[in-house]
C-alpha cells in the first residue's frame, strides 16, 4: 500500500489551478472581477491568439500597494474577507484569494500597479508562481496585469483547448457578460489588435445592451421591472416575435454577478408560454437584486452557480415581472389617422377618410304575396349541382376564358425574391360561366362540413385517396395489412387506419426526415439568390465563432457570409428557399447544433447544416396541405422508410383498438 505523503506545494498549486483556470476565458473573468472589486470605472481587455499567448487587463481602480504586491499572489490571500461571518454576506465578485495564485502557477505574469497614495508603483514578474523580478516603476493609478504563455508548464492541458478562434470567442463572451452586469463600467475589448467592443459606462443597461448585441437585436428587447419579497427584478427581455433558436441570448445576474440559474431560466420561459413559437427561446438581460445573505455564491469554483434561500420567491419574482411586461404589450402597433386639414387659400379642405368603394345601399325587401308563395311552392326542387369530390382530377383541364378578355394564356411565375412574402399563394382560377360550383374544402377547413356525399359503403378517407392527381403512384403493394388515410387533425397530424390500430403521423417530422435523407443522398445543391439588402447578423460570441469556423461549408450550402467585425456576420446571398427574415434564425439554430455536436468534425458540421435546411424546407405543423401531399408523407411512413426525425423524435404513434375500447370502458 502506498504511503500517504503531503504534496509538493508546486503540485498542489497546479491542482488548484485546474479548478479555477479552465481556459483563457477563466483568466479574463477573474482579472475583470478583480478590477471591478477595486472600484474601476474603465477597463480594457486585450487578447492575442485566443488568449493563449497574451491576456492584458488594464483598469483605473485603487491599485495594489507596493508592499502587498507579492502577497497578492499567495493562496488564500485576499482583501475582501476577514472573518467567517463575512462569508454569509458576500458583496464582492471575488473573495477566496485563489485566482491570482492559480493563474500565476500556470503562466508567466507581469504586474504593474500603483495606489493613489504612492508616488511610484511596483513592477513584478512571475513564472510558474515564483517571483523572478521586482522593481519600482512609474505608472498611472490602477493595475495592469499581463498573462503570457498560458499552460506553458502543463502541456497536458493544452490538448483539451479549442482553436484560437473558439477560445477568443469564449473570452469575448465573458467580456460581454461583465459589461452587461456592470453597465456603470466602460469596457473595451481588443482581439489581435482589433477593437470589437466598447461600452459607454453610463450606468444604463440599455446602452450596454446596444453595444453588446447590436442595434437591430437590441430593438427587439423591451424593459422589464418588478419586485417580489425582499428582491427586485430589472433589465430587458426579448419580444415574443424576436425569440431565437438557442438560449445564447439569455443572461442572468444576481447582485451584479453573472450566474447560470435553472430557476430563473424556468421562470423566464414559463412567462412566455403560449406567446412564442415552439422551439424558440426568449433572450434577456435580467438583474436580480436581493439580500446578500439570501444567496450563497460559495458553492462552485467558478462562482457561476449559486443557491437561493428560497427558489420559489426567485421564480415568482422573475415570472411575474416578465409576465406583466409581456401582457402590457407596449409594442402593439396603432393606426395613426391625421385629422383633415382646414382649407387653405382656395384649396378645398380634405374630406374625412371613408371606406373605399361605393356606399352600401339601403336594404330593400318586401313581403311575398300569397300568389308568389304558391308559385314558388309548386316549382320543382332542382338541387345545385355539386362537384364530385371523390372523382379523380382531370389533368390539363382548365376553364376556358371568355374570348376577347385580354388575358394572356402564359403561365404566371410565382417566383419571389428572397425576403418576399412567401406565404402568399396564387389566386385560384374562377370557374367558367355555367360550371358547377365546387363545395370541396381545403384539408382541415371547417371540420364539421363533410365532403360531397359518396356511396354509403365508401370509407371516410376515400376523398383523400381520390384527390391524388392523375399520374401519382398509389401506395405500393405490400404483404402487410392494407391501410388507408382517414384524414388530418389540427393541421398537424395525419390519421392512418390499418387493421385494428390507428396511427397519428407528425407530418412535419416525417417530411423533415424525408428531406434530410434526400439531401444527404443526392448532395444538397440549392439555388443561390443574391439578397437585395445584405443581412447583418450579430450572434452570441461563441455561436459567431462556430459559424466563422464553418464559412466554407456555409458557402457550399448557399450562404455567402463573411466576418463583418464586432462579432457580426454579413450575409449577401442565401438559398432561394430561405427567406431573408429567416436567415438569422437558420444561422442561430445551426450555430447551436455546431456547439452541441462539436464543429471540429466536418461530417458532424455538414449533418448539422443538413438538419437545419431539412427542417426549414419541410411542411409546417399548423399549415394546410393538399391531400396528395399528405398521402405522400403517409406512404413514406407506412413503407418503413421513415421512423424517426433527424432529431431522434418518433414520427408516428400507434393507438390500438383495445386501447381505445379501454378508454371508452368497452374493454
* 233-247, 336-350, 503-517, 549-563: range with lowest mean pLDDT: 336-350
In this prediction, residue 452 carries a pLDDT of 37
> Which of residues 94 and 631 earns the better pLDDT score?
631
Please tell me what DSSP assigns to residue 305: -
Distance (Å, rounded) from C-alpha 202 to C-alpha 479? Answer: 74
In this prediction, residue 597 carries a pLDDT of 59
- Mean pLDDT over the full length of the chain: 76
* Per-range mean pLDDT, top range of 61-75, 151-165, 272-286, 541-555: 61-75
Distance (Å, rounded) from C-alpha 489 to C-alpha 504? Answer: 9
- Give all strands of the β-sheet with 652-656 in edge-to-edge order: 483-489, 493-498, 501-506, 652-656
Confidence of residue 459 (pLDDT cuts 50, 70, 90): very low
Closest C-alpha among 452, 510, 440, 94 to residue 298: 94
The pairing of strands 231-238 and 284-290 is antiparallel
What the chain holds in terms of domains, given with CATH numbers, is: 9-198 (3.30.565.10), 220-327 (3.30.230.10), 459-667 (3.30.1370.100)
- What is the per-residue pLDDT across 551-581, written as a single tens digit (0 to 9) for each? 888 888 788 888 887 778 899 998 877 777 8
Considering just the CA atoms, what is the radius of gyration of the chain in Å? 34
Whether 180 has a pLDDT exceeding 90, the answer reads: yes
- What is the per-residue pLDDT across 111-137, written as a single tens digit (0 to 9) for each? 999 999 999 999 999 998 899 999 999
Closest C-alpha among 517, 526, 512 to residue 615: 512
Please tell me what DSSP assigns to residue 650: B
> Which of residues 428 and 550 earns the better pLDDT score?
550
> Which of residues 588 and 473 earns the better pLDDT score?
588
* Residue partners of 131: CB distance under 8 A and separation at least 6: 70, 73, 124, 125
CA–chain centroid gap for 69, Å, is 45
In this prediction, residue 386 carries a pLDDT of 33
Amino acid at each position: 500500500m502506498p504511503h500517504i505523503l503531503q504534496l509538493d506545494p508546486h503540485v498542489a498549486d497546479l491542482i488548484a489551478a485546474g479548478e479555477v483556470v479552465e481556459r483563457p476565458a477563466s483568466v479574463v473573468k477573474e482579472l475583470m472581477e478583480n478590477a471591478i472589486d477595486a472600484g474601476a470605472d474603465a477597463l480594457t481587455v486585450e487578447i492575442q491568439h485566443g488568449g493563449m499567448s497574451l491576456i492584458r487587463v488594464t483598469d483605473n481602480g485603487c491599485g495594489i500597494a507596493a508592499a502587498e504586491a507579492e502577497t497578492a499572489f499567495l493562496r488564500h490571500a485576499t482583501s475582501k474577507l476577514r472573518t467567517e461571518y463575512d462569508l454569509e454576506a458576500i458583496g464582492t465578485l471575488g473573495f477566496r484569494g485563489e485566482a491570482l495564485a492559480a493563474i500565476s502557477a500556470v503562466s508567466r505574469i507581469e504586474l504593474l500597479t500603483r495606489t493613489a497614495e504612492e508616488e511610484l508603483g511596483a513592477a513584478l514578474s512571475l513564472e510558474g508562481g515564483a517571483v523572478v523580478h521586482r522593481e519600482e516603476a512609474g505608472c498611472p493609478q490602477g493595475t495592469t496585469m499581463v498573462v503570457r504563455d498560458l499552460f506553458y508548464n502543463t502541456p497536458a492541458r493544452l490538448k483539451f483547448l479549442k482553436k484560437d478562434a473558439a477560445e477568443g470567442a469564449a473570452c469575448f463572451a465573458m467580456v460581454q457578460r461583465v459589461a452587461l452586469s456592470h453597465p456603470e463600467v466602460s469596457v473595451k475589448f481588443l482581439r489581435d489588435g482589433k477593437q470589437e467592443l466598447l461600452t459607454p459606462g453610463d450606468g444604463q443597461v440599455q446602452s450596454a445592451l446596444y453595444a453588446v448585441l447590436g442595434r437591430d437585436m437590441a430593438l427587439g428587447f423591451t424593459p422589464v421591472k418588478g419586485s417580489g419579497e425582499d428582491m427586485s427584478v430589472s433589465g430587458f427581455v426579448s419580444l415574443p416575435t424576436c425569440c431565437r433558436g438557442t438560449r445564447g441570448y439569455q443572461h442572468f445576474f444576481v447582485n451584479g454577478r453573472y450566474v447560470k440559474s435553472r430557476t430563473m431560466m424556468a421562470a423566464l420561459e414559463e412567462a412566455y408560454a403560449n406567446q412564442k413559437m415552439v422551439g424558440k427561446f426568449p433572450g434577456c438581460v435580467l438583474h436580480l437584486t436581493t439580500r446578500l445573505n439570501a444567496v450563497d455564491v460559495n458553492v462552485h469554483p467558478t462562482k457561476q452557480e449559486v443557491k437561493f434561500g428560497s427558489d420559489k420567491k426567485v421564480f415568482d419574482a422573475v415570472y411575474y415581472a416578465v409576465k406583466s411586461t409581456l401582457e402590457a404589450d407596449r409594442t402593439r402597433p396603432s393606426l395613426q389617422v391625421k385629422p383633415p386639414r382646414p382649407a387653405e387659400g382656395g384649396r378645398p379642405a380634405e374630406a374625412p377618410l371613408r371606406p373605399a368603394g361605393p356606399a352600401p345601399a339601403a336594404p330593400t325587401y318586401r313581403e311575398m304575396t300569397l300568389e308568389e308563395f304558391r308559385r314558388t311552392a309548386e316549382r320543382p326542387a332542382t338541387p345545385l349541382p355539386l362537384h364530385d369530390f371523390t372523382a379523380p382530377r382531370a389533368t390539363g383541364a382548365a376553364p376556358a376564358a371568355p374570348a376577347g378578355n385580354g388575358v394572356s394564356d402564359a403561365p404566371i411565375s410565382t417566383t419571389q425574391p428572397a425576403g418576399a412574402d412567401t406565404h402568399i399563394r396564387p389566386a385560384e382560377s374562377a370557374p367558367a360561366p355555367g360550371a358547377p360550383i365546387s363545395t370541396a374544402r381545403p384539408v382541415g377547413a371547417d371540420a364539421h362540413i363533410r365532403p360531397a356525399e359518396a356511396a354509403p359503403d365508401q370509407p371516410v378517407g376515400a376523398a383523400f385517396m381520390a384527390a391524388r392527381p392523375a399520374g401519382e403512384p398509389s401506395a405500393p403493394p405490400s404483404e402487410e395489412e392494407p391501410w388507408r388515410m382517414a384524414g388530418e387533425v389540427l393541421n398537424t397530424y395525419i390519421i392512418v387506419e390499418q387493421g385494428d390500430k390507428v396511427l397519428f403521423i407528425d407530418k412535419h417530422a416525417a417530411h423533415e426526415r424525408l428531406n434530410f435523407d434526400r439531401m444527404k443522398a443526392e448532395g444538397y445543391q440549392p439555388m443561390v439568390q443574391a439578397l437585395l439588402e445584405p443581412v447583418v447578423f450579430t450572434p452570441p460570441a461563441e455561436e459567431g465563432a462556430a459559424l466563422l469556423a464553418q464559412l466554407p461549408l456555409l458557402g457550399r450550402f448557399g450562404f455567402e457570409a463573411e466576418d463583418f467585425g464586432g462579432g457580426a456576420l454579413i450575409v449577401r446571398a442565401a438559398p432561394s428557399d430561405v427567406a431573408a427574415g429567416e436567415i438569422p434564425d437558420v444561422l442561430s439554430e445551426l450555430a447551436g447544433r455546431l456547439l452541441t455536436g462539436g464543429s471540429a468534425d466536418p461530417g458532424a458540421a455538414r449533418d448539422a447544416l443538413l438538419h437545419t435546411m431539412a427542417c426549414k424546407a419541410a411542411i409546417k405543423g399548423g399549415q394546410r396541405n393538399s391531400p396528395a401531399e399528405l398521402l405522400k408523407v403517409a406512404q413514406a411512413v407506412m413503407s418503413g422508410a421513415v421512423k424517426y426525425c433527424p432529431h431522434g423524435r418518433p414520427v408516428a404513434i400507434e393507438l390500438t383498438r383495445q386501447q381505445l375500447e379501454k378508454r371508452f370502458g368497452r374493454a
